[in-house]
Structure 1
Amino acid sequence: MTKKSRGKWVSLLLLSMITVLSVSACSGNSGSGKETAATNKPEQSAATGGEATEAPDELKPHKLTLVYPGTPQTDEAVVEEALNKLLTAKINATIDLMPIDWGAWDDKVNLMIAGRDVIDIYFTAQWNGHANNVSKGAFIPLNDLIDQYGQGIKETLDPAFLEGAKINGKNYGVPTNKELASAGGIVYRKDVTDELGIDMSAVKEPKDLDAVYAVVKEKRPDLVPLYTNGAVFNAHYFGNYDFLGDSTIPGALLKDENGTTVAPVEDSARYQDYLKLARDFYVKGYINADAATTQVAPQDAWNAGKVFSTIEPMKPGKDAEIASAAGIPGKTAQIIMTSKTVATSETAGSMLGISSTSTNPERAMMLINLLHTDKEINNLLNFGIEGVHYTKNGEIISPTGKTADYSPGSAWMFGSQFLNYVWDTEAPDKWEQFKAFNEGAISSPALGFVFDSEPVKSEVGALANVIRQFQKAVETGSVEPEQGLKEYRQALKDAGIDKVIAEKQKQFDDFLASK
């Protein structure tokens, strides 16, 4: 596929998405008269998006479990009770919210999957081992369930999301309806830069942060200039690495270039330059000393008031989302530092998957459908109870003295973000900005391709152990990059990275030949 034809393809894809999102965004305008059928009639669309097959009183009661990464909230039980009243009326179900702290997420969720814990719904994403977990049998295929119980999803979600998230022609997760383009950048404390007289307009790329962090370190020693618990500038969304479906499996292309040769990112000049910069910042004390080992996720560090800046996947209002969850509304700003790109991975960057241990997958899909179609349930899960955790003026919400007791900051994980209310510290036209953000994104050479790891699953397992041992230390700047990278690359080679790369290349070549 040529660059020109790829550009036409993604333009059509984005145009299609923008059309659908326009409908979704209109459904969030109170009194607009342009609400969708799914939004107008949630009682009908609760189970099937408008074609109910069973009334709630014909369904046996069922308790659904929802496992996702995030800080447990003080008022979780209160919100659960309110959710249960709505869910009982609509699908005769109740819910057990099971957040797991970000720092412990990978280890705990892997243990739950390996231990075959009885769970209904897991958060899952391509950057969080989705394809690998599919190969382990963690999730069930959802296509038939979506057809039967997820008509609201199909009516409101751009087809590009479901198509791009498929593995071997099947969906194992329902993507969140949100932004499609991707970019990397920083979120920082604007109140601190104002206080210290730092001009952030001069910051265009990562190296420009050196002068900023030097001042913050000297003048505000109570703050970590750049907090991380993992990759710094080599995060996949910052480095613009396309891992062809699962960023936990080595071998990638650069999304913002035209190459079609799959290679280890560790061999690229971009990766190695970013390692050197991270090491420089670490040695200067800009990065938290425990970056390679801490279990404290960036949002938790924000919540504790210890952070000046973090590296983040960008979108309109990312800074406001972080500030809201941290209880510092209006005190943050953001800077995009990379090209905007679109890859298959973005379609699967946030999903809800139904566990293969679920005792009622049908009811689980009914809940996921509600999160895509029911405004009241969606916002209750994301923001808590109106009049308690927020006050509401049309579609704009404002904090109360109880906001901090339920502020998970996880709206990008659940259903449709285009149903979400907008905080009074966010741009009122936030959802219009989302549509504009998707325009002009560079398409990855591998757009539409998803790697099947089944032929090399033993090597993928061995490589996962190597990554767990080396990656954080190397990418946070915690070790000298030349020696650390040398050991890391050798360990990857010993674990079979060459075989995985060859298999990725073979499958990708077949994909290109079929275009």
Structure 2
Amino acid sequence: MRKTKQRATLLAAIILAIAMLVSACGGNNAPNNTGNQTNNTEQNTNTQNNGQTEEEGNTGESELEPYQLTLVYPGSPQKDEALVEEALNKLLTEKINATIDLMPIDWGSWDEKVNLMIASREEVDIIFTAQWNGHASNVGKGAFLELDNLIQQHGQGILETQDPTFLEGARINGKNYGIPTTKELAAAGGIIYRKDVAEELGIDMSQVKTIKDLDAVYAKVKAERPDLTPLYISSTDNTFNSHFFGNYDFLGDATIPGAIFKDGTDTTVVPIETTERFLETTRLTHEFFKKGYINADAATSQVSAPDAWKAGIVFSAIESLKPGKDEEVATTAGLSGKLGQIQLTNKTIATSETAGSMLGISSTSQDPERAMMFINLLHTDKEINNLINFGIKDVHFTLNGEIMSKTDRTGDYSPGANWMLGNQFLNYLWDTEDPQKWEKFKEFNTGATKSPALGFVFNSEPVKNEIGALANVIKQYQVAIDRGVVNIDDVLDEYMSAMKAAGLDKVIAEKQAQFDEFLASK
């Protein structure tokens, strides 16, 4: 596959060279249109206008050599990936003289493969990264380039279209190492569930206000629909103890112990394992597991919730919610109109949201400038944004204005990655989605509680050895605890002793010292 793409890139380079020679011989002194072409594609100049304005100007680049970009992100490989790449390449060659190699990695093996990619210094260009997925730790390892100069040079569209809170809240030591997706700013935890099944069983989901209220719901589903897992969780999926359920703020990297509560005012950094909120949540999760509501392989399964939805074996799954999240999941799973969502926490804004979905440029990239040009297009070019997210018009969807309808080939390219790639306010809407979705996004972003640590990101370098040791301990215990496979009360003392032996107290103290300094400087 890669060899074919390399040959295509070489052929494109030869054709381009011939074209430039012919143009020069013909006395044409016009600028090279691969870099100075005016782009009249509709653009989003403000996240509040739903991407309906028109971009003026151009890429500002000229005389670019051909280059193949690689984009690494989590998700299932798609049947029509090569077809979409071909369509993208036509547009990208015109705009920035580049082609693209899409490199999705299944969620189940994402952490392992990306960590190996970073450790081995594999040459790639753009990698999905997030606060909850070890972003700060990977920055400390030198995996990502500092982007501020690149943003100024080749990312003006990002600066013009994105709420500045995103970039401000994603900085590490005052610098950006990732470009956040333009999406919802607030976060809230809840579940996505089979609305059609609830109606079939006569379950009134409007009565579900807390996690405890799900007990009776899951009992009925288990009894009357044994073909469905009441609550599906894999080893890589969200849990009731995720940061948006516990409202934990891990101060920049959820993989490093020590947090405050996003919905509180206390600025004391503590291990969450010592908090009553953590204990209550994990105890209840264990009760659900013992009752058979959660799949027995929750701690080991690498089949992600999106794939489980597609397989039709799920009644509910835990999600970070936003307006229309249920239909986004449904569309990817082939369950349009059959899913609903229930919010079970209050709304908060923290660095985990501003830096919760980003694209970083790898320090192994051979053309970081071109990588930034591509990311800028994802934030400003409606055609490219929708092509990479939804596929080809009249093949994978039909379009009536801004509204998409499915075709018999929609399932052949349905990556469900639009929350990772660029500017969601440029996305078309499916005919099953709320036409007021983007207006509701704006409403959702208002009235959220801001974490006392918004904008702070912990610098892990002073305690990197302790963090490495703690990671091994966490790997041994946390997955099973969070998924209810083990009783927290049976292993808590052992877990905490192992954490302390690995350097927990030193990490907490360092986090507190840096956080106090941040607060004093505000």
Same topology, TM > 0.5: yes
Counterpart selection for 2:359 from 344, 352, 364: 352
3-state secondary structure, aligned to 2:293: coil
TM-score (normalised: structure 2): 0.90
Q: Which residue of 2 aligns with 1:463?
A: 470
- Paired residues of 1:474 and 1:485 also in contact (CA < 8 A): no
RMSD between superposed Cα atoms in Å: 1.3
3-state secondary structure, aligned to 1:413: coil
- Paired residues of 2:171 and 2:455 also in contact (CA < 8 A): no
By how many angstroms is 1:484 displaced?
Answer: 2.4
Q: Which residue of 2 aligns with 1:232?
A: 239
- State the distance in 1 between where 2:499 and 2:378 align: 40
The letter of the residue matching 2:479 is K
Residue 205 of structure 2 corresponds to residue 223 of structure 1: no
Q: Which residue of 1 aligns with 2:417?
A: 410
3-state secondary structure, aligned to 1:312: strand
Residue 47 of structure 2 corresponds to residue 24 of structure 1: yes
Instruction: Give structure 2 stretches of 5+ with no counterpart.
Output: 1-42
3-state secondary structure, aligned to 1:411: coil
Q: Deviations over 1:414-456 (max 9, x none)?
A: 1100000011111101111000001111111112211111111
By how many angstroms is 1:27 displaced?
Answer: 5.0
By how many angstroms is 1:98 displaced?
Answer: 0.4
Highest Rg: 1 or 2? 2
Q: Deviations over 1:465-493 (max 9, x none)?
A: 11111110111010122122222222211
The 1:21–1:379 alpha-carbon spacing in structure 2 relative to 1, beyond 3 Å, is closer
Q: Deviations over 1:308-355 (max 9, x none)?
A: 101100100110110000011010000000010111221100000000
Counterpart selection for 1:99 from 104, 117, 124: 104
- State the distance in 2 between where 1:511 and 1:366 align: 33
- State the distance in 2 between where 1:511 and 1:404 align: 47
- State the distance in 1 between where 2:454 and 2:390 align: 34
By how many angstroms is 1:22 displaced?
Answer: 8.7
The letter of the residue matching 1:83 is L
The 1:257–1:24 alpha-carbon spacing in structure 2 relative to 1, beyond 3 Å, is closer
Q: Which residue of 2 aligns with 1:373?
A: 380
Percent identity (aligned) = 68
Q: Which residue of 2 aligns with 1:117?
A: 122
TM-score (normalised: structure 1): 0.91
* Total equivalences in the alignment: 478
Aligned pairs for 1:234-249 (under 5 A) are 234-249=241-256
Q: Deviations over 1:41-74 (max 9, x none)?
A: 4xx44x3xxxx1x23xx11110000000001111
- State the distance in 1 between where 2:45 and 2:154 align: 24
The 1:264–1:234 alpha-carbon spacing in structure 2 relative to 1, beyond 3 Å, is same
- Paired residues of 2:351 and 2:456 also in contact (CA < 8 A): yes
The 1:512–1:28 alpha-carbon spacing in structure 2 relative to 1, beyond 3 Å, is closer
Residue 336 of structure 2 corresponds to residue 313 of structure 1: no
Residue 135 of structure 2 corresponds to residue 130 of structure 1: yes
- State the distance in 1 between where 2:473 and 2:374 align: 37
Q: Return the structure number with greater helix share.
A: 1
Instruction: Give structure 1 stretches of 5+ with no counterpart.
Output: 1-19, 30-34
Residue 186 of structure 2 corresponds to residue 181 of structure 1: yes
Aligned pairs for 1:42-61 (under 5 A) are 44-45=57-58, 47=59, 52=60, 54-55=61-62, 58-61=63-66
Aligned pairs for 1:472-483 (under 5 A) are 472-483=479-490
Q: Deviations over 1:96-144 (max 9, x none)?
A: 0000001111111111111111110000000000000000000010000
3-state secondary structure, aligned to 1:412: coil
Counterpart selection for 1:495 from 479, 495, 502: 502
Counterpart selection for 2:293 from 286, 289, 297: 286
- Paired residues of 2:234 and 2:301 also in contact (CA < 8 A): yes
Residue 207 of structure 2 corresponds to residue 195 of structure 1: no
By how many angstroms is 1:21 displaced?
Answer: 8.6
Counterpart selection for 1:170 from 149, 172, 175: 175
- State the distance in 2 between where 1:469 and 1:294 align: 15
By how many angstroms is 1:40 displaced?
Answer: 3.1
By how many angstroms is 1:212 displaced?
Answer: 0.4
The letter of the residue matching 2:55 is N
Q: Which residue of 2 aligns with 1:40?
A: 55
The 1:320–1:22 alpha-carbon spacing in structure 2 relative to 1, beyond 3 Å, is farther
Q: Which residue of 1 aligns with 2:333?
A: 326
- Paired residues of 1:149 and 1:366 also in contact (CA < 8 A): yes
The 1:381–1:350 alpha-carbon spacing in structure 2 relative to 1, beyond 3 Å, is same
Compare 425-434 and 462-471 and name the one that shifted more.
462-471
